[in-house]
């Protein structure tokens, strides 16, 4: 295991380790530390290190809107919603189906079983923090490599935005740990350890069968509708954007997970 301090630039050692396959890397984000993986072997190692149920899929990190559009099924309304958060630099994760083109980028090693749920959907995340965005973007640009993630803490526990909080089991399992407690704390400078958000907001854009919710246009009382299924960092700004972009949306914290 190697530990490095993030210096503001892309961490090439993380990119290289993920590209070799089977690796797991701990990386800082806006809300805490996450574990990065790139294939089934890495995901299996991640689940083992976390002690997390394998039935809970990881998330897909998107370093650009172009990558998002390649991987996930989007409607023009959903694409506009993502773009608004991209431009406002707001961490956002949404449950979406994979596109056929997107599935073609998945490693042919059973990775799909660990990143999708039974409906064939995953959580596609943007604006999760500069250190990880740099890695995800580099992997995509250097050969359309995908980067998957999960929080770097024992399942059901938070790391409180501190590298020391990832726990000895994850620390021992990681091939590389990128440290930057200062970056994490800079995102919520006025928050305490008790009041800070340790996760991002998650919005579902699919129905119970994994199909995209319908476009709304100017219609009212549309169902099924976008649903906030997890509160987190910038929940107030994201709910305002939902109100601006959709005439109908719902709040069901915890419904998905």
For helices 76-87 and 235-245, give the axis angle rounded to 10 degrees. Answer: 140
Residue 256, pLDDT above cutoff 70: no
What is the pLDDT at residue 108? 94
Contacts 24+ apart (CB under 8 A), 170-175: 170/26, 170/35, 170/49, 170/50, 171/1, 171/26, 172/1, 173/1, 173/24, 173/45, 173/48, 173/49, 174/1, 174/24, 174/25, 174/26, 174/35, 174/49, 175/1, 175/2, 175/17, 175/23, 175/24, 175/25
Domain ranges of the chain: 2-80+95-195
User: How far, in Å, are 7, 67, 209 from residue 141 at the CA level?
Assistant: 21, 9, 32
pTM for this entry: 0.95
For 69-88, what is the mean pLDDT?
A: 98
Number of neighbouring beta carbons within 10 Å of residue 164: 12
What is the pLDDT at residue 155? 65
Residue 9, pLDDT above cutoff 80: yes
Three-class SS state of 255: coil
d(CA 253, CA 242): 15
What is the pLDDT at residue 57? 59
pLDDT-derived band of residue 154, with 50, 70 and 90 as boundaries?
confident
175 in Cβ contact with 25 (< 8 Å): yes
Three-class SS state of 149: strand
Residue 257, pLDDT above cutoff 60: no
pLDDT 10s digits, 155-181: 667 789 999 999 999 999 999 999 999
* CATH number belonging to domain 2-80+95-195: 3.90.870.10
Q: How far is CA 130 from the centre of its chain?
A: 13
| Sequence-ordered list of residues with C-beta below 8 angstroms from that of 41, at least 6 positions apart, any chain | 21, 22, 109
* Per-chain mean pLDDT for the chain: 94
Alpha carbon distance, N-terminus to C-terminus of the chain: 31
């Amino acid at each position: 295991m190697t530990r490095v301090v993030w210096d503001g630039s892309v961490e090439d050692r993380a990119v290289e380790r993920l590209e070799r396959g089977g690796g797991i890397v701990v990386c800082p984000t806006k809300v805490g530390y996450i574990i990065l993986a790139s294939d089934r072997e890495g995901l299996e190692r991640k689940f083992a290190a976390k002690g997390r149920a394998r039935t809970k899929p990881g998330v897909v990190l998107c370093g650009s809107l172009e990558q998002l559009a390649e991987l996930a099924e989007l409607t023009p309304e959903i694409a506009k919603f993502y773009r608004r958060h991209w431009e406002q630099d707001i961490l956002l994760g949404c449950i979406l189906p994979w596109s056929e083109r997107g599935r073609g980028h998945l490693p042919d090693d059973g990775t799909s079983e660990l990143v999708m749920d039974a409906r064939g959907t995953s959580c596609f995340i943007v604006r999760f923090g500069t250190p990880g965005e740099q890695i995800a973007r580099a992997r995509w640009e250097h050969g359309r490599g995908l980067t998957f993630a999960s929080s770097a803490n024992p399942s059901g526990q938070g790391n409180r935005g501190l590298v020391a909080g990832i726990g000895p089991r994850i620390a021992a399992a990681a091939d590389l740990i990128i440290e930057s407690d200062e970056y994490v704390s800079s995102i919520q400078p006025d928050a305490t350890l008790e009041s800070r958000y340790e996760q991002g907001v998650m919005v579902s854009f699919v129905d119970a069968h994994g199909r995209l919710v319908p476009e709304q246009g100017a219609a009212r009382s549309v169902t099924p509708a976008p649903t906030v299924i997890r509160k987190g960092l910038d929940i107030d700004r994201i709910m305002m954007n939902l109100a601006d972009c959709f005439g109908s949306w719902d709040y069901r914290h915890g419904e998905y997970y």
